[in-house]
Amino acid sequence: MIEMNVAGIALDAVTRSPIVLLQDGAERRALPIFIEQDQAKSIIGALENQTPLRPLTHDLIVNLFQAWEMELDRIIIHSLQNKTFYSVLCLHRGETKKEIDCRPSDAISIALRTGSPIWVMEEVIANASIPVNRDADEKERRAFREFVENLCPEDLIQRRREVPEDDNEN
Protein backbone atom coordinates (compact mmCIF):
# COMPACT_ATOMS: atom_id res chain seq x y z
CA MET A 1 0.00 0.00 0.00
CA ILE A 2 1.07 3.56 -0.66
CA GLU A 3 0.05 6.50 1.49
CA MET A 4 -1.46 9.31 -0.53
CA ASN A 5 -2.44 12.91 0.18
CA VAL A 6 -5.18 15.02 -1.31
CA ALA A 7 -3.48 17.32 -3.82
CA GLY A 8 -6.73 19.12 -4.61
CA ILE A 9 -9.89 19.14 -6.67
CA ALA A 10 -9.77 19.60 -10.44
CA LEU A 11 -12.34 19.68 -13.22
CA ASP A 12 -12.26 17.29 -16.15
CA ALA A 13 -11.65 19.37 -19.29
CA VAL A 14 -14.24 17.49 -21.34
CA THR A 15 -17.07 16.64 -18.94
CA ARG A 16 -16.47 19.42 -16.38
CA SER A 17 -16.90 16.74 -13.69
CA PRO A 18 -14.95 17.22 -10.47
CA ILE A 19 -11.94 15.01 -9.81
CA VAL A 20 -10.19 14.53 -6.50
CA LEU A 21 -6.45 14.17 -7.05
CA LEU A 22 -4.49 12.00 -4.66
CA GLN A 23 -0.71 12.26 -4.78
CA ASP A 24 2.01 10.09 -3.31
CA GLY A 25 4.47 11.53 -0.80
CA ALA A 26 7.24 11.81 -3.39
CA GLU A 27 4.86 13.74 -5.65
CA ARG A 28 5.67 11.37 -8.51
CA ARG A 29 2.25 9.79 -9.09
CA ALA A 30 -1.28 11.16 -8.97
CA LEU A 31 -4.49 9.19 -8.76
CA PRO A 32 -7.49 10.98 -10.29
CA ILE A 33 -10.89 9.88 -8.98
CA PHE A 34 -14.05 11.26 -10.55
CA ILE A 35 -16.51 12.42 -7.90
CA GLU A 36 -19.82 14.27 -7.69
CA GLN A 37 -20.31 17.98 -7.01
CA ASP A 38 -21.50 17.41 -3.42
CA GLN A 39 -18.46 15.30 -2.57
CA ALA A 40 -16.18 17.92 -4.14
CA LYS A 41 -17.74 20.61 -1.94
CA SER A 42 -17.33 18.42 1.13
CA ILE A 43 -13.69 17.67 0.38
CA ILE A 44 -12.94 21.35 -0.31
CA GLY A 45 -14.66 22.26 2.95
CA ALA A 46 -12.46 19.80 4.83
CA LEU A 47 -9.30 20.99 3.07
CA GLU A 48 -10.13 24.58 4.01
CA ASN A 49 -11.12 23.64 7.59
CA GLN A 50 -14.59 25.10 7.11
CA THR A 51 -17.09 24.49 9.88
CA PRO A 52 -20.72 24.51 8.76
CA LEU A 53 -23.38 26.06 10.99
CA ARG A 54 -25.04 22.65 11.26
CA PRO A 55 -23.27 19.30 10.73
CA LEU A 56 -23.37 18.02 7.18
CA THR A 57 -23.31 14.27 6.48
CA HIS A 58 -19.55 13.77 6.81
CA ASP A 59 -19.43 15.94 9.92
CA LEU A 60 -22.28 13.89 11.37
CA ILE A 61 -20.36 10.67 10.73
CA VAL A 62 -17.29 12.08 12.49
CA ASN A 63 -19.53 13.17 15.40
CA LEU A 64 -20.93 9.62 15.60
CA PHE A 65 -17.40 8.19 15.70
CA GLN A 66 -16.55 10.53 18.57
CA ALA A 67 -19.79 9.83 20.47
CA TRP A 68 -19.23 6.07 20.22
CA GLU A 69 -15.48 6.40 20.95
CA MET A 70 -14.50 4.94 17.58
CA GLU A 71 -11.34 5.95 15.79
CA LEU A 72 -10.71 5.96 12.08
CA ASP A 73 -7.27 4.37 11.71
CA ARG A 74 -7.10 4.89 7.95
CA ILE A 75 -9.00 4.52 4.74
CA ILE A 76 -7.90 2.10 2.06
CA ILE A 77 -8.75 2.42 -1.62
CA HIS A 78 -8.35 -1.25 -2.41
CA SER A 79 -9.62 -1.93 -5.92
CA LEU A 80 -10.73 -0.60 -9.26
CA GLN A 81 -13.41 -2.52 -11.14
CA ASN A 82 -15.13 -1.32 -14.31
CA LYS A 83 -13.83 2.22 -13.76
CA THR A 84 -15.23 2.27 -10.20
CA PHE A 85 -12.95 2.63 -7.18
CA TYR A 86 -13.72 0.74 -3.96
CA SER A 87 -12.60 1.66 -0.47
CA VAL A 88 -13.09 0.88 3.20
CA LEU A 89 -13.02 2.80 6.44
CA CYS A 90 -10.75 0.99 8.94
CA LEU A 91 -12.22 1.69 12.37
CA HIS A 92 -11.51 0.51 15.86
CA ARG A 93 -13.14 0.84 19.25
CA GLY A 94 -11.06 -0.65 22.01
CA GLU A 95 -9.90 -4.03 20.73
CA THR A 96 -12.70 -4.31 18.18
CA LYS A 97 -11.74 -3.52 14.59
CA LYS A 98 -14.10 -3.16 11.65
CA GLU A 99 -13.77 -2.39 7.97
CA ILE A 100 -16.78 -0.58 6.50
CA ASP A 101 -17.38 -0.39 2.74
CA CYS A 102 -17.46 3.23 1.62
CA ARG A 103 -17.27 5.27 -1.57
CA PRO A 104 -13.77 6.72 -1.92
CA SER A 105 -15.09 10.29 -2.06
CA ASP A 106 -16.90 9.83 1.25
CA ALA A 107 -13.93 8.02 2.79
CA ILE A 108 -11.57 10.82 1.73
CA SER A 109 -13.89 13.48 3.13
CA ILE A 110 -14.11 11.66 6.46
CA ALA A 111 -10.35 11.00 6.55
CA LEU A 112 -9.65 14.70 6.03
CA ARG A 113 -11.99 15.60 8.91
CA THR A 114 -10.35 13.11 11.27
CA GLY A 115 -6.76 13.62 10.14
CA SER A 116 -6.57 9.95 9.17
CA PRO A 117 -4.20 8.60 6.52
CA ILE A 118 -5.32 7.67 3.02
CA TRP A 119 -3.81 4.46 1.67
CA VAL A 120 -4.11 3.04 -1.83
CA MET A 121 -3.25 -0.50 -2.89
CA GLU A 122 -0.29 -0.68 -5.24
CA GLU A 123 -2.33 -2.47 -7.93
CA VAL A 124 -4.72 0.47 -8.02
CA ILE A 125 -1.83 2.92 -8.34
CA ALA A 126 -0.31 0.82 -11.12
CA ASN A 127 -3.58 0.65 -13.06
CA ALA A 128 -5.01 4.13 -12.58
CA SER A 129 -2.34 6.66 -11.62
CA ILE A 130 -0.75 9.21 -13.87
CA PRO A 131 2.87 10.43 -13.75
CA VAL A 132 3.31 13.87 -12.25
CA ASN A 133 7.05 14.38 -12.53
CA ARG A 134 8.15 12.95 -15.88
CA ASP A 135 11.63 14.47 -15.55
CA ALA A 136 12.27 12.62 -12.27
CA ASP A 137 10.89 9.40 -13.78
CA GLU A 138 13.19 9.69 -16.78
CA LYS A 139 16.18 10.52 -14.57
CA GLU A 140 15.47 7.42 -12.48
CA ARG A 141 15.16 5.25 -15.63
CA ARG A 142 18.49 6.58 -16.97
CA ALA A 143 20.23 5.93 -13.64
CA PHE A 144 18.88 2.37 -13.53
CA ARG A 145 19.91 1.70 -17.16
CA GLU A 146 23.39 3.03 -16.40
CA PHE A 147 23.62 0.84 -13.30
CA VAL A 148 22.59 -2.28 -15.26
CA GLU A 149 24.91 -1.48 -18.17
CA ASN A 150 27.90 -1.15 -15.82
CA LEU A 151 27.02 -4.22 -13.76
CA CYS A 152 29.27 -7.22 -14.10
CA PRO A 153 29.04 -10.69 -12.53
CA GLU A 154 32.18 -10.11 -10.47
CA ASP A 155 30.44 -7.22 -8.68
CA LEU A 156 27.59 -9.51 -7.67
CA ILE A 157 29.97 -12.23 -6.51
CA GLN A 158 31.97 -9.72 -4.47
CA ARG A 159 28.77 -8.29 -2.95
CA ARG A 160 27.62 -11.79 -2.04
CA ARG A 161 30.90 -12.40 -0.20
CA GLU A 162 30.48 -9.14 1.76
CA VAL A 163 27.04 -10.03 3.15
CA PRO A 164 27.25 -11.64 6.61
CA GLU A 165 26.19 -15.30 6.74
CA ASP A 166 23.09 -14.51 8.91
CA ASP A 167 21.72 -12.18 6.21
CA ASN A 168 22.09 -14.87 3.54
CA GLU A 169 19.36 -17.01 5.11
CA ASN A 170 16.59 -14.56 4.19
Question: Residues 115-154: pLDDT tens digits?
Answer: 999 999 999 999 998 887 666 556 666 766 776 677 677 7
Assess contact for 30 and 23: CB atoms under 8 A: yes
> Regarding predicted confidence, which is higher, 24 or 146?
24
Helix 104-114 and helix 57-67: axis angle, to 10°? 60
**Long-range interactions of 146-153: CB distance < 8 A, separation 24+:** none
72-105 pLDDT, tens per residue?
A: 999 999 999 999 999 999 999 999 999 999 999 9
User: Any idea which fold 2-135 has?
Assistant: Bifunctional nuclease domain (3.10.690)
Helix axes 57-67, 37-47, angle to 10 degrees: 60
Angle (CA) 98-114-61 rounded to 5° is: 65
pLDDT of residue 91: 97
